[in-house]
Every structure is written in C-alpha cells, then in structure tokens.
Amino acid sequence: MNDIHTSVEMIELIRKTGFYPSEINTDLNLLQEITQLKTQKNAVILAHYYQNPDIQDIADYIGDSLGLAQQAQKSTADIILFAGVHFMAETAKILNPSRKVLIPDLKAGCSLSDSCPPALFSIFKEKYPDHKVISYINCSAEIKAMSDVICTSSNAKKIVDSFPTSQPLIFAPDKNLGAYVNKQTNREMLLWNGACMVHEIFSAQKLMKLKVQYPEALIIAHPECEEHVLSYADFIGSTTQLLDFTINNSHSSYIVVTETGIIHQMQTSSPEKNFIPAPPDNACACNDCPHMKLNTLEKIYLALKYEQPELIMDEEIMQKARIPLERMLELS
Ligand code: 13P
Ligand code: SF4
C-alpha cells in the first residue's frame, strides 16, 4: 500500500497539480474511511461493471456506459468520483459541468478511445461531407465534439434507426460494434478502424473447446467482440443487458465473453448459477481491462480525501460534445 506514494501516477499527479498526498496509514479501514468521506463531502461513487469487486461493492451506482451517463447527468452530489476510465469521467463532466469530477487514476484510459485520434478523424470526416457521424461513447471529448450523436452498446441500433435509411452515416470508433449494428440495421455505415484490446483478444477456437466442456452453457458476448466470435453467441448485449439476461434466463451456466469484472454482479444476482469467463487468445489475463483495473480502493480514498485528481476540461470542447451526448439521452 505504501508504494502508492512512489508510483509513476503519483509523480505525474505532483507534476501536473503540485499536489502531494500525505502518508496513507496502512491500518486504515478503507471502507469506513471512504464511506465517511462520501457523507462529509456529499460525494457519490459511480462505478462501471469492469471495476474490481471491492470497488463495485462500495459504489453508489454500478452500471453500463448508458446507465452511468444517465446517473451522472442527474446527480446532485457536489463530487462525482468516477470509478471507470477517462472517457466515462469526461462524459460525466460534460453532462453535469457544475460538479467536481474526480478520477482515481488519470492514466485509466481506453484502447478503443485511443484508436481514434481527433486529428486523423477530422481529416477522414472532411472526405465525407454528406455523412452524419454516430460515435460510440468510448471516444474522447474531441471526437464527441465532431459527432452528430453518441451511442452506447445498449442503444446503438436505436440511435442508428433514428436516421432515415437514405442518410449516409459514419460510425466511429469501434469497427466491431459498427459491423454488428450494420448487420442488425441492414446498413452500410462507413466504419472507423478502431477496436478494444480486451474484446479482440478472445479466441473462437478456445471458446469452442469450452463449449464442448460445458455443452449446457449459453455463450453471451459483448458486441465489441469480433464478428467470428459473435457468431457463436446465444445472446449479444451491453454489460447491463448481459447481466439482465443471466438473471431472467433459466439456464444454469454461461460462458461470458467480455471483461471479467461483470461476473461479480452476475454471481451476486444468481449465486446458484455458474459463470465461466471466456479464454483469451494466449496465457495472459488479457480479458481483464488493464485501464479499468488501474483503480483501487487506496486511490479512491486518496482522491476523495484530497479531491484530486480532478478532471478539468476545455469549455469549448465540453459545449460542443454536450450536444450529441444530450441528443443520445433524449433518444434513449
Ligand atoms: P458497456 O458497459 O456500455 O456495455 O460498455 C462496455 C465497455 O467496454 C466499457 O468500456
Ligand atoms: Fe476501453 Fe476495452 Fe477497457 Fe472498455 S474494456 S475501457 S473499451 S479498453
């Protein structure tokens, strides 16, 4: 716990903010301290399902990207601590700019968001002036500012269907979700060539071996997975939709093809059922998102105590990005 003070992220924090946290007492009861700080400071913790179980258990709200955006928009707390990744905290700040938004680790980014650099996307977009742009929420505020509407994995079809079929569309940044929605809606949206490092790591071959081992198990997958992996799925949906499916479906066993964090809520909601994480393409734990898993209880405690790192954003970008985000929430 003590080495948190010498870690790269703390050095980065000190450089950026001139702020240095005092010693963390290793005897602290972090759960108790975090609960007290939340009350004292009128703070809420919003957490994504891919967070570690200990973080999910202290959160005031756990959800998928759409649910988290909706919660952030209506929050009356003075502080929103976002236990997720950078684009999610940005979304919260854009939708509710008068709140102080804290992110426990500034380095918690997203490979999918990084796969769409704003300067390159701007050049791409200029080539297709008659196209409207739908961007998946897993992108930077700059990309959102260049978009007509945002979507998440739970409402992508609905958002795409809100445009007349004659309207040419660009879908960014996830080519896998884009291809899946193209199929669902019978469209040919132009797809930006981005992807998530976690959802592209699953091996269809290993998935089939697992299915042979557990023939009764249903395969449930996130639409950020590649098409050949999705082709084996019995159900495809956002994290909340996958969780709801396991609650409402009568099968007793599921092979879960997404980041492993969601299994905590599945197991809590259905303790009698069996959840098997789908194997990655190699021997690593690559179906854990390295960005999501940067957050820890220690970092959450420090962030609430010192109200740092605070997310500070460019006003003009925020204003531009708010328009397509609010359009999505109206359509959802
Ligand atoms: P959802 O929780 O909206 O399904 O998104 C998954 C994801 O990859 C978030 O980074
Ligand atoms: Fe980004 Fe993939 Fe991690 Fe989600 S799981 S935050 S899309 S890298």
The pLDDT tens digits of the residues spanning 42-61 come to 999 999 999 999 999 999 99
- CB of 238 closer than 6 A to ligand 1? yes
Q: Please give the pLDDT value at position 4.
A: 47
Burial class (CB in 10 A: 0-12, 13-18, 19+), 29: exposed
CA distance 187 to 190: 9
Residue 23: name the closest of 295, 301, 308 by CA.
301
Lowest model confidence (mean pLDDT) among 11-15, 94-98, 287-291: 11-15
Question: Does 111 contact ligand 1 (Cβ within 6 A)?
Answer: no
Whether the predicted pLDDT of 207 surpasses 90: yes
| Predicted confidence (pLDDT) at residue 23 exceeds the cutoff of 60 | no
4, 3, 91: which is closest to 299 by C-alpha? 4
Task: Give the model confidence (pLDDT) of 67-85 as tens digits.
Answer: 999 999 999 999 999 999 9
Q: pLDDT value at position 248? A: 98
* pLDDT band of 221, cuts 50, 70, 90: very high
- The number of the ligand nearest the C-alpha atom of 202 reads 2
Tell me the CA distances in angstroms from 85 to 80, 110, 158, 313, 329, one per residue in order: 13, 7, 25, 15, 20
Q: Is 64 in the pocket of ligand 1 (CB under 6 A)?
A: yes
Share of the chain above pLDDT 70, in %: 92
- Is the CB–ligand 1 distance for residue 153 below 6 Å? yes
Residue 308 banded pLDDT, cuts 50, 70, 90: very high
Q: Take atom 10 of ligand 1 and give the residue whose Cα is closest.
A: 138
Q: How confident is the model at residue 234 (pLDDT cuts 50, 70, 90)?
A: very high
CA distance 17 to 4: 17
Q: Is the CB of 90 under 6 A from ligand 2?
A: no
Average pLDDT over residues 285-305: 93
Closest ligand to the CA of 140: 2
pLDDT at 286: 75
pLDDT-based confidence at residue 18 (cuts at 50, 70, 90): low
In whole angstroms, what is the distance from residue 112 CA to residue 97 CA?
24
pLDDT score, position 325: 98
Rounded to an integer, the average pLDDT of 275-287 is: 80
Residue 193 has pLDDT above 80, yes or no: yes
Confidence at 2, pLDDT banded by 50, 70, 90: very low
Q: Is the Cβ–Cβ distance between 192 and 178 less than 8 Å?
A: yes
For the cut 90, the answer to whether the pLDDT of residue 10 exceeds it is: no
List, in order of start, the domains of the chain with CATH numbers.
7-108+292-313 (3.40.50.10800), 112-196 (3.40.50.10800), 202-277 (3.40.50.10800)
- Given the CA of residue 237, which atom of ligand 1 is nearest to it? 4
Is residue 291 predicted with pLDDT exceeding 50?
A: yes
CA 178 – ligand 1 centroid, Å: 14
CB 259 within 8 A of CB 287: yes
Question: In the chain, pLDDT over 90 holds for what percent of residues?
Answer: 88
Q: How far, in Å, from the CA of 153 to the mean position of ligand 1?
A: 7
Q: Is the CB of 197 under 6 A from ligand 2?
A: yes
Read off the pLDDT of residues 253-277 as tens digits, 9 standing for 90 and up.
999 999 999 999 999 999 999 999 9
Q: E strands along the chain, which residues?
A: 43-48, 61-63, 79-83, 100-102, 132-136, 149-151, 169-172, 190-191, 218-221, 235-236, 253-257, 274-277
Q: Is 155 in the pocket of ligand 1 (CB under 6 A)?
A: no
Q: Which of 98, 12, 88, 108 is nearest to 325 (CA)?
A: 88
Among 113, 93, 95, 116, smallest CA distance to 103 is for 93
Lowest-pLDDT choice from 3-17, 110-124, 253-267: 3-17
> What's the predicted TM-score (pTM) here?
0.93
- Give the CA distances from residue 203 to residues 111, 213, 216, 263, 307, in Å, rounded to whole numbers and listed in that order: 19, 15, 20, 19, 41
The upper half-sphere exposure of residue 306, i.e. CA atoms within 13 Å in the direction of its Cβ, equals 21
- For residues 237 and 19, what is the distance between their CA atoms, to the nearest angstrom? 41
Nearest Cα to Cα of residue 95 among 144, 55, 49: 144
Q: Per residue in 143-185, pLDDT tens?
A: 999 999 999 999 999 999 999 999 999 999 999 999 999 999 9
Sign of the C-alpha dihedral computed for residues 99, 104, 107 and 113 taken in this order: negative
Does any ligand 1 atom lie closer than 6 A to the CB of residue 138? yes
The atom of ligand 2 lying closest to the CA of 289 is 3
Q: Is 222 helix (H, G, I), strand (E, B) or coil?
A: coil
The amino acid occupying position 167 is Q
